[in-house]
Every structure is written in C-alpha cells, then in structure tokens.
C-alpha cells in the first residue's frame, strides 16, 4: 500500500539515523521508498529542508504528495526549497488533492515542534512492523497515512451537485422575464466557471498520479536490474 510516512525525532542526528534505517529497509525489500527528505523545525518556529537535494530515486516525480506535504509542514520556506529540489514539479498541489487529510497534518504538527526534525517519505509497505520497530528503537514518533483516492469521489459528487444547480438555473432562466434573465445568466456563468475549474483540477490530478505511477514502475525496474547485476 502506498503511504505517506512522517517520523519525528528529537534531533538531527537521530533523524539521519532514521533515514538510513528507512533506506536499509528498502534495500532489504521490507518496504519500497519512492522519495524522502529531512525537515527540521528551528528554534524560532521556522522550518528548513536539511537535505533538499536528497529526495530519493524519483523525487521530482512524486511532488503531488511528498512535495505538498513538505510545503505544508515547512511553510513558505519549505515550498521554496521543495521547488528548487524538484519536489513540486508540475505545480504545488494542495495536500487534500494529494489524498492526505488535514487531521494528519494537525497530528504531525503537534509533535513536530521547534528543534525537532522529521523524516518525510512516500513509501510502499505491506505491514507496519518493520518501519515501526526500527524507528521506535531510534526514538522516532511514527505517523503514516494511506494515499487514497477518496478526494476524487468527493470531487465528483461536488461537480455533479453543481451541474444539477446549473441545470436548475437554466430552467429558471428559460421561464424568466427579460429583467430577470440577465441576473440568472450571471449566476449561470459563475457556476459554469467553477465547474470548468473543478474539471481542470481533476484532470491535473489524474495526470500527476499517472506520472507518479509510471515513475514508481521505473523504480521497481531499476531495482530489479540492480539485483540481477549483483547476482551475476
């Protein structure tokens, strides 16, 4: 299952240990790591990406989720560094569109306090024990959230509701007097504009998800090729 993982540590050294352990688990085949970064909260509450150039095997192509999460947790600084590191390629998608709920952000933010450091990663894991055991041994607090497509369903329902409203407005306009037709037309235009924006956003999300899926397939192929090369 594809998940967003955040592990919060008390200091930077432990965070780097956590990142190393995460990559070891990837090498062992216990999990798959698609992208990662180390984010630190400074004493004044600001944030910085400690390893902005070290974003994992497909960092620039997982920006729809990893880059958005870094941007939200780090604020404007994180967004800027994420963009320079390629994490936000294709646009800075908001966290909701990436399939991560606001409650997840709240839970992480409560623990990611000043002077603490987090390892943020997009991973594939079948069970949670390997990551939890290694991170807890280092002193990390683990947060994870499955990357779901629930938001797409909500989006479709919203668009359907707006289209129903649009049809009602057009029906009213057809029966309205001349002075009322203009006001109804204005409402129709506004609602139609919102619908088109929603449809475009949905298209952008689908394309971003397709790019991410293709990139992940390539990562698995590269790992398989590397394993064959080592075995030969």
Residue 36, φ and ψ in degrees, nearest 5: -160, 165
| CA–CA distance, 210 with 208 (Å, rounded to integer) | 5
Cα(38)–Cα(118) distance, rounded to whole angstroms? 6
Q: How far apart are CA 67 and CA 83, in angstroms?
A: 8
The bridge status of strand 2-9 relative to strand 117-125 is antiparallel
pLDDT value of position 153: 58
Closest CA to 35 of 9, 53, 12, 62: 62
pTM for the structure as a whole: 0.64
The whole-number pLDDT of residue 18 equals 95
Domain boundaries along the sequence of the chain: 2-148, 151-231
Looking at residue 95, its pLDDT comes to 52
The pLDDT of residue 22 is 93
Summarize pLDDT for 154-184 with one digit per residue, the tens: 567 778 888 888 898 899 889 888 888 888 8
Query: Which residue spans within the chain are E strands per DSSP?
Result: 2-9, 31-41, 47-49, 117-125, 141-146
Q: Is 132 helix (H, G, I), strand (E, B) or coil?
A: helix
C-alpha triplet 73, 79, 83: angle, nearest 5°: 135
pLDDT at 5: 92
Sites in the chain below the pLDDT cut of 50: 53-63, 77-93, 149-150
Looking at residue 148, its pLDDT comes to 59
Q: Are 90 and 211 in contact (CB under 8 A)?
A: yes
């Amino acid at each position: 299952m594809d998940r967003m993982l955040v592990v919060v540590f008390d200091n930077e050294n432990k965070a780097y240990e956590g990142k190393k352990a995460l990559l070891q688990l990837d090498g062992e085949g216990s999990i798959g790591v698609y992208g990662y970064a180390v984010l630190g909260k400074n004493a004044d509450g600001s944030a910085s990406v400690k390893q902005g150039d070290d974003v994992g095997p497909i960092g620039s192509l997982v920006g729809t989720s990893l880059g958005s999460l870094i941007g939200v947790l780090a604020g404007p600084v994180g967004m800027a560094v994420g963009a320079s590191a390629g994490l936000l390629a294709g646009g800075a998608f908001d966290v909701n569109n990436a399939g991560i709920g606001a409650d997840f952000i709240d839970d992480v933010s409560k623990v990611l306090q000043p002077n603490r450091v987090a390892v943020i990663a997009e991973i594939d894991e079948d069970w949670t024990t390997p990551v939890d055991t290694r991170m807890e041994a280092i002193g990390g607090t683990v947060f994870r959230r499955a990357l779901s497509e629930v938001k797409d369903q909500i989006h479709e329902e919203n668009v359907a509701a707006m289209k129903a409203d649009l049809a009602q407005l057009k029906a009213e306009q057809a029966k309205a007097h001349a002075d009322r037709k203009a006001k109804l037309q204005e409402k129709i235009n506004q609602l139609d504009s919102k619908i088109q924006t929603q449809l475009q956003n949905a298209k952008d999300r689908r394309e971003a998800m397709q790019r991410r899926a293709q990139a992940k397939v390539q990562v698995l192929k590269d790992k398989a090729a590397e394993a064959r090369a080592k075995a030969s």
